[in-house]
Amino acid sequence: MPLMHPQFNPIALDLTRFGVPVQIHWYGITYLVAFALFLYLGARRVKKPWFANAGWTRRDVEDLLFFGVVGVVLGGRIGYTLFYKPMYYLQHPLEVFAVWKGGMSFHGGLLGVIAAMFVFALLRRRSFWDVTDLIAPCVPTGLASGRVGNFINGELWGREADPSLPWAMIFPQSGSLTPRHPSQVYQFLLEGMLLFGLLWWFGSKPRRRAEVSAAFLVGYGLFRFIAEYFREPDSFLGLLALNMSMGQWLCLPMIIGGALLFAWSRNQPLPAAAHA
């Protein structure tokens, strides 16, 4: 018997009943959780000898969060308009700014964060790879928080599933009572918790420059590629060449780029603190 999506109320706290024009959504809370986890984990990362000896502080983590938020919002929105609906937004350019209507791309957000970290590195006169190696293990918990928000909202549901699958779930938001894979949960476990565990373990020891960044690219790319087999493709795109979704095609450059970066990093020295 398939499970039924709980149909959560997307509003966690409604103060309008008390005359205060404020509604706090669960999705907004998951973003706050993501930011808080980034600050907590980043503060722990900068205490590692190889980061502390290089002059990294908690204040740097706070500044990185600000740069990252700007990058992910701008990049996520621009990426969505370019990767998923370029012709529509070409005909309706002002709707690019209508972010309240939804439409964000993780891969675009990643490019936005990369650009933001590049600017941060220039301003602070640091190596770009030192910046990304610091933050990479702190990112997956934020991705996990976002998937919790997707599940609460009943969005980004999965493809049709065998009704006998114990965790097959019906999402009325999909417009049908067809049992589906709870792909948000799959992504929470793969791209979120599993990737976090692997990166936190890998980054807990001194690594050559760009190694941790490369591990993030390969790890996220692989896990997202797998999860996309269970996630319903965007209705306006469907499956593309080789029966792969847009998300899978966008993961391939991540995996290839991460592998090449990993090979390049093998020629980089270990941090000075590692030798001590």
pLDDT digits 0-9 by tens, 112-146: 999 999 999 999 999 999 999 999 999 999 999 99
Burial 172-188 (b: 16+ CB within 10 A, else e): eebeeeebbbbbbbbbb
What is the pLDDT of the chain when averaged over all its residues? 91
- At residue 274, the pLDDT reads 54
- At residue 99, the pLDDT reads 59
Contact 229, 244 (CB under 8 A): no
pTM: 0.88
Dump pLDDT digits (tens) for 125-134. Answer: 999 999 999 9
Asked if residue 124 belongs to a known ligand binding site, the reply is: no
- At residue 264, the pLDDT reads 97
Mean pLDDT of 187-200: 98
Dump pLDDT digits (tens) for 39-71. Answer: 999 999 999 999 999 999 999 999 999 999 999
- At residue 32, the pLDDT reads 92
Mean pLDDT of 222-245: 92
Burial 237-262 (b: 16+ CB within 10 A, else e): eeeeeeebbbbbbbbeebbeebeebb
- At residue 107, the pLDDT reads 77
Please tell me the distance from the alpha carbon of residue 219 to that of residue 236, in angstroms, as a whole number: 28
How far is C-alpha 171 from the geometric centre of its chain's CA atoms? 23
Does the pLDDT at position 163 exceed 60? Answer: yes
